[in-house]
Structure 1
Amino acid sequence: MKIFWPYLLIFGILVTDPEGCEQNSNDEGEDNTSQTDISSESEIFQENSVEPSSSDQMRTSEGLENESKQMIGVYFMPSWSTSADPNQDRDSFWSCLTGRGDCASLQNTATWGPKGRIYNRQFPYEGPYLNRKPIAELKGFYKRDDPAVARKQLQYMKSNGIDFFAFNWFFGRHYYYHLYFGPQSKIYYPEGWKIDPNRDGRVAVPGLEEWNEQLEVLLSENLKLPAAEQMKWAINWCDDSDERWRAWLDVGSPESMSAGRNYEGEKPDKALYLQVHDKITQLWIDKYFKRKDYLKSDDGRPIVYFYFPQDTESRASFYGITMKELLDRSKALARKNGLNGIKFIAVASGAMMPNERMYGMPTRWQANNPSEPWRGGRYTDRILFQDYVPRLKGMGFEGLTGYVYHNHYRQDNKSYADMRKTYRSHWQEWSEFFKNDKEFEYQVPVAMGWDMRPAGGTWPQQTGFPSEPIKDRVHSNKSTFKAKLEEAKKQSEKYHSSNGNTIMICCWNEYLEGNYIEPTEGHGFDYLEAVKEVFMDRRTGFIPSPPASVASSTSP
């Protein structure tokens, strides 16, 4: 979910530009249409468009209580408008699926070089990618804040065996705003915290949520559903953007002062960094943790997923702050507010070969010029993934899972068969590593594939071309995805006594990375049906017969 394009966030007249958490295409389905699927696409749509009944949900709840107690989660990626015009909405997903001209990720010179993404006769544009268009029941290329769409999404998740979604949550720590100014008056600020009444209630501690339109409407619609039909959800904090970090360091710089973005005394020092961290935690507590639908551990602690913790660790090191200090600080603040703490789960992956250390996981950030850190710096002290994982518990994490595994040592993904091998290797390595530690769990991750062509390809280079386009053909179908889910279920059950019971699926809607189980015109309800057949139907006692040629666990 690495985000490679600049974006715009608009709060009234507050316009921002930070950075984020990643066809005609018959070739998009490497095996996209299984011959074993006996239902036509239209039949699938009709069958699955029925609203789930309360009795169905009660059976689901009973299954969770009385059967394997497997918890199935899915990551949810928000989209945003890339238009500088507040009166025009240019969705970051749909603009890249429908063509090239308005796709911000293809025009991003920071990642693709001065000309943006380059296409030519040898390396032609392969879009548009219209088979990724959501189904008519979701209104096609829907609006992010449409309550009817959000309600359908929640119902589709619940009725197909998904227990919770982990929402990719972003926070811009550098934004100052004014509580006495109408368009900004409703932006969250902790009660009783200092403001400047002489500057329209300018906040003393900056920072605000980004891209939270979809979360707000999802949560609003969730509470309108009967209790048995509501989804659980959790935060997946994506503090992974170097551009956002640079914007933070620019607070109080000479350029920022002369442009009127900051006032005297506003500077990104250690004290303010910690205050912003406290503000983030307090926001979670006040807005989210006390909700009945927030995901909690068995002992009642809210669960927070933490995407790519190495990014936060390396930047905090600039102030001499450790990751353990940050997590302990959040846990203490939660206890101060009447909670039992917070359970943090790391979402991580990385290079594993010694010759890839230059791409390893950084643990420090050093300014090129310590007196002018906003000019930039470098990430140093990089370590390989297998050396990073054993450090997680000491940082304060109580679990590990993944978003997308691209490799395991020399094994990398050029097909879905490759991806399944990569995942099996990670599952086995980390399940075994943590099997005797009942205070740390490995949540088995699953992905439906990988194809970043709508965003330019894998991976962006300053030359204007992707470095590994061969990796943009990792495509599954219902059969191969279902087989992977079956493997994940067996792996999770085998190590259940020590490693918990959660399986994480990537993703509900990572449309630009080729990871989307949300129903689309291209694959209908295939992926949700696979989840339902592996997990939900077994809970309720119905085990469908597999198709005659369904992929086995050893034959992708």
Structure 2
Amino acid sequence: MKLFAYFLPQFHPTPENNQWWGNGFTEWTNVTKASPFFPGHQQPKLPADLGFYDLRIPEVMEEQAKIAMAHGVDGFVFYHYWFGDGKVMLEKPIQQFLKNHKVDIQFCMCWANESWKGTWHGAGNRLLIEQKYLGKEDYLVHFQYLLPFFEDKRSLKIEGKPVFQVYAPESIPDLDLFLATFNEQALLNGLPGIFWIAVKSSPKWNAKHSKFDGMVNPNLSQINKYLTKSISGFFLRYGLNNPIIRRVFRLPKTIFFHSVRACLEDFKENYSIDFFPLAIPNWDNTPRTKNLGTVYLQTNPKAFGEHLKACLKQARKNQSDRKIVFIKSWNEWAEGNFLEPDQKFGKSFLEVIKSQKS
């Protein structure tokens, strides 16, 4: 059984972020400015053991990997940004990881193939970088960029193939060409192929005919169906989450964690392709999106432990090298979505993982 946590490399300044948001902007900028929107709303959420780290410092990721592995997290899923024509973003920490074998933790890559908007400052409609799909020549260059990662001994393999996740496969207009190009290049470079995993997909997505090998639980897009399965959830959906009430009182959307669990743990008996459960410890993206954000209520290590237990049970139904649970996320601090030690719970979320794995 393996646990892999999504890893955000947005913790170092970049020329683009300096231009858009001011010099020195990183994920920490919004984290430290956060404030509560309602009684009992805990903000800001601040780091403990690792502090306000800078991922340009190699020792930071070395320490992150040590903490992760000591508590049962087997690997990271690095978000990877390729906008077409060689344009990458937030690549320095991952390139540094590739060269630094002191960070001895497994990994796979997730192409976060979405356009960037001004979400980090609550300006969601402001287009910053457009995600482009430029055809086979660009896919060839993209593959060559990723090849050293696929070949790395720490790369997660299934059936001997390096795992590559695509965040939003439905967004790729020539998806068949993209997949065929990568598969062809993998074989030409001595790899047995690519093991494809889809992350975000709509209910209309035909997984069986997608040519993907697996998918991370996509059910969270259907969360609203699960809100009214309890009295408290019903009250939130049609009471405090009413758009008029939220607008008047400037409130974020709130969801009880038991509704999130009901959604993510509504497993099917059979899936047309390999299914990987998704576990979420917490969520509060108001540091990024202010009152337009969403807050999960009653998140805590105990509740996460129960949730993780259900996800592990589901993953054990998979074949041996597919017994994997993906956790969102290791360090998405401005989305209140992290496993790293914080000033309220310390390492309690990580200790839950350690106890579940032992």
Q: Which bin holds the TM-score, normalised by the shorter protein?
A: 0.7 to 0.9
* Correspondent of 2:138 among 269, 272, 276: 276
Aligned residue for 2:137, secondary structure, equals helix
State the alpha-carbon separation in 2 of the partners of residues 75 and 450 from structure 1. 14
1:71 matched to which residue of 2? Answer: 2
Number of the residue aligned with 1:294: 155
Structure-2 change in CA distance of 1:245 and 1:331 (3 Å): farther
Give 1:83-102 correspondences, 5 Å limit. Answer: 83-84=18-19, 88-91=23-26, 93-99=27-33
- What SS does the aligned partner of 2:156 have? coil
1:212 aligns with 2:91: yes
Q: Which residue of 1 aligns with 2:47?
A: 134
CA contact (8 A) 1:404 1:447 kept: no
State the Cα deviation string for residues 115-171 of structure 1 (Å, max 9, x = none): xxxx9xxx78999934x3222x41x11112122211110001111111111101101
Q: Is the 8 A contact 1:478 1:526 kept in 2?
A: yes
Aligned partner of residue 332 in structure 2, secondary structure:
coil
SS in 1 for 2:192: coil
Instruction: Give 1:449 deviation, angstroms.
Output: 2.2
Asked if 1:147 is matched to 2:81, the reply is no
- Partner of 1:393, secondary structure, is coil
Q: CA 1:396/1:303 → structure 2, altered by over 3 Å: closer, same or farther?
A: same
CA–CA distance in 2 between the matches of 1:534 and 1:128?
27
The residue identity in structure 1 corresponding to 2:143 is: T
Answering whether residue 59 of structure 2 is matched by residue 236 of structure 1, we say: no
- Checking the alignment, whether the CA contact within 8 Å between 1:416 and 1:474 is kept in structure 2 is yes
Distance in 1 (alpha carbons) for counterparts of 2:179 and 2:210: 8
CA displacement at 1:392 relative to structure 2: 2.5
For 2:287, which of 454, 458, 467 is the aligned residue? 454
Are 1:414 and 1:472, in contact at CA under 8 Å, matched by a contact in 2? Answer: yes
Does the 8 Å CA contact 2:5/2:76 hold for their aligned counterparts?
Answer: yes
* Structure 1 pair 87–327 and aligned structure 2 pair: CA distance change class (3 A): same
1:326-405 equivalences under 5 Å are: 326-349=178-201, 385-388=202-205, 391-402=206-217, 405=220
Looking at structure 1, the residues matched to 41 and 23 of structure 2 have their Cα atoms a distance apart, in angstroms, of 23
1:393 Cα deviation after fit: 3.4
If you compute each CA radius of gyration, which structure gives the higher value, 1 or 2?
1
Question: Cα distance 1:497–1:85, how it changes in 2: closer, same or farther (>3 A)?
Answer: closer
Hey, what's the Cα distance between the residues in 1 that align with 2:278 and 2:19?
Answer: 37
Q: What one-letter code is carried by the residue in structure 2 that aligns with 1:329?
A: T
Query: Any stretches of 5+ residues in structure 2 without a counterpart?
Result: 118-126, 228-253
Aligned identity (percent) is 22
Alpha-carbon distance in structure 1 between the residues aligned to 2:341 and 2:287? 18
Tell me the equivalent position of 1:163: 74
Alignment of structure 1 residues 34-49 onto 2, 5 Å:
none
Q: How far did 1:218 drift? A: 3.3
8 A contact 2:219–2:264 mirrored in 1? no
The answer to whether residue 168 in structure 2 is matched with residue 308 in structure 1 is: yes
For residues 124 and 474 of structure 1, what CA distance do their matches in structure 2 show? 12
Judging by fraction of residues, say which structure has more strand: 2
For 2:217 and 2:81, how far apart are their aligned partners in 1?
18
Query: Are the equivalent residues in 1 in contact too, given 2:167–2:198 (CA < 8 A)?
Result: yes
Q: In the superposition, relative to structure 1, how do residues 481 and 87 fare at CA in structure 2: closer, same or farther (>3 Å)?
A: closer
- Pick the aligned partner of 2:313 from 468, 485, 490: 490
Name the structure 1 match of 2:342.
520
Give TM-score, length-normalised by structure 1: 0.53
Deviation at 1:276, TM superposition (A): 0.8
Q: Find the partner of 1:530 among 342, 346, 352.
A: 352
What TM-score results when the alignment is normalised by the length of structure 2?
A: 0.80
**1:433 alignment counterpart:** 270
Q: What corresponds to 1:224 in structure 2?
A: 102
2:74 aligned partner, one-letter code: D
Cα deviation for residue 452 of structure 1 reads 1.2
Alpha carbon RMSD of aligned pairs, Å? 3.0
How much does 1:446 deviate?
0.5
Deviation of 1:90 after TM superposition, in Å, equals 1.9
Does the 8 Å contact 1:154/1:218 carry over to 2? no
Distance 1:499 1:386 in 2: 27
Q: Are 1:417 and 2:253 counterparts?
A: no
Task: Say which SS state the counterpart of residue 88 (structure 2) adopts.
Answer: strand
Paired letter, 2:60: V
Alpha-carbon separation, structure 2, partners of 1:149 and 1:507: 17
Residue deviations 1:354-395, cap 9 Å, x none?
xxxxxxxxxxxxxxxxxxxxxxxxxxxxxxx3321xx23322
Q: Deviations over 1:299-321 (max 9, x none)?
A: 31111011121222xxx2xxxx3
1:474, distance to aligned residue in structure 2 (A): 3.3
- 1:404 deviates by 7.9
Alpha-carbon distance change, 339 to 97 in structure 1, aligned in 2, over 3 angstroms:
same
Structure 2 contact 136–177 (Cα < 8 Å) conserved: no
Rounded to whole Å, the distance in 2 between the matches of 1:327 and 1:149 is 34
Distance 1:87 1:245 in 2: 14
Change (3 A) 1:164 1:519: same
* Structure 1 contact 83–89 (Cα < 8 Å) conserved: yes
Q: Which letter maps to 1:424? A: E
> Which residue of structure 2 lines up, in the alignment, with residue 113 of structure 1?
none
Q: Which runs of structure 2 are paired with 1:2-13 in the superposition (5 Å)?
A: none
CA distance in 2, matches of 1:214, 1:86: 20
- Mapped contact 1:97–1:127 kept (Cα < 8 A): no
- 1:507, 1:475 → 2: CA distance? 18
